[in-house]
Amino acid sequence: MGKYISILILIETILLGCHSTKEKIEFSNRVICSDSMSRELVVLNDTFLFSYPLQIECIDSMLLVLDNVNNNFFHLFTLKGVPIKSFGEKGQGPADFINVESFNLSEDRETMYAYDTSLRKIVKYDVSSFLKDSLKSEVIQVNYDSLPQAEVPTIVYDMLSLKDSNFLVKANHKGLRFGLLKDGKITQLYNSFSDCVNTNDDEEVWSVFCSNTKTKLRPDRTKMLNATYLGGVLELFDLDDNCSLSLAKILYIYEPKYGIAEGAIPKYVVFNETTQIGRSFTCHWSDNPITIGWSLIKHTSMAGFFSKKQ
């Protein structure tokens, strides 16, 4: 009898030794400022009435603003804030839009892409034609037939331009969290989620990591950052020449719960090569400085730097 008990204990010990333990996840639930800075606010234009600006990019000697106002989505200004033109009309024409939440530039910054989530199309603009009378654009229709089948309807939130006319697909569930649009077909690239959301409800998990997140590619298309809408979970991904996506690092700031996050919502994400002006936090991961702009409902406005603890 004692022999059998010893064998059972040995088997149990082996099984426990082979069982992988989950990584302990700790949220700081605060942003630690190791440095601070202040900048003078310069009003460029007080005559153009914006509605709800979603994105702004500096392109050569121009400022491009995404805002659904005056029946147009895109608005071009000089660096001094003088309006140049508006384009991207609201409608259902070939180059019109119904819903645009972001735009992105090609690696050489010579092409601008905007994805319409309602019309399921990408409009490609030639940046060199922005200052010309005739705007050069091309419409790329997205075939949803190649999307994976799932109980939850697939929502494609964005299409981010990669190299060789490929696009990174940002979707909403574990079957297609991040995918690749290549040659008209969509395939899966990455479908994992962090265990930081304490629930067995898949829909609740993807709502944290997919819905309204801020996603940005580094200009050379070697890195990608994803910042959750609620709280502060930052995921830094490696992206290779074969369009393979792998998680490099993850930073947990505010726990994704309304009572804890206290309204901390990322407003924009950029890989900053120069100093960024505004209310923001800059995250330095290795050689990848990243600026995160936050909307803090219950926190005072501040700017600072934080880094991932090793």
Tens digit of each residue's pLDDT, the chain (310 residues):
555 555 555 555 555 555 445 567 777 666 655 556 666 777 877 788 888 898 889 998 899 999 999 999 999 999 999 999 999 999 999 999 999 999 999 999 999 999 998 998 999 999 999 999 899 999 998 888 877 776 667 788 899 999 888 999 998 877 788 999 998 888 889 988 888 877 777 777 877 888 778 888 888 898 888 888 776 788 889 999 888 999 988 888 777 766 655 555 666 566 555 433 333 444 444 444 555 554 443 333 323 333 333 2
CA 177, CA 209: separation in Å to the nearest integer?
Answer: 9
What pLDDT shows up at residue 236?
87
CA 262, CA 260: separation in Å to the nearest integer?
Answer: 5
| Residues 6 or more apart whose Cβ sits within 8 Å of residue 69 | 49, 50, 51, 75
Structural element, H or E, at residue 11: helix 2-18
Domain ranges (residues) in the chain: 25-306
CATH of 25-306, one of 1.10.1660, 2.120.10, 3.30.70, 1.20.1280: 2.120.10
Tokens of 241: 């020449």
What pLDDT shows up at residue 137?
96
CB 171, CB 213: distance < 8 Å: no
What pLDDT shows up at residue 270?
60
Q: Which amino acid does the sequence have at 64?
A: L
Q: Which amino acid does the sequence have at 300?
A: T
What pLDDT shows up at residue 42?
77
**In this structure, is the dihedral angle defined by the CA atoms of residues 274, 234, 266 and 165, taken in order, positive or negative?**
positive
- Mode of pairing for the β-strands spanning 281-285 and 55-59: unpaired
CA 63, CA 130: separation in Å to the nearest integer?
Answer: 11
| Residues 6 or more apart whose Cβ sits within 8 Å of residue 125 | 111, 112, 113, 114, 135, 136, 137
CA 102, CA 100: separation in Å to the nearest integer?
Answer: 6
What pLDDT shows up at residue 188?
87
Give the end-to-end CA distance of the chain in Å, rounded to a whole number: 50
Residue whose structure tokens are 């580094």:
218
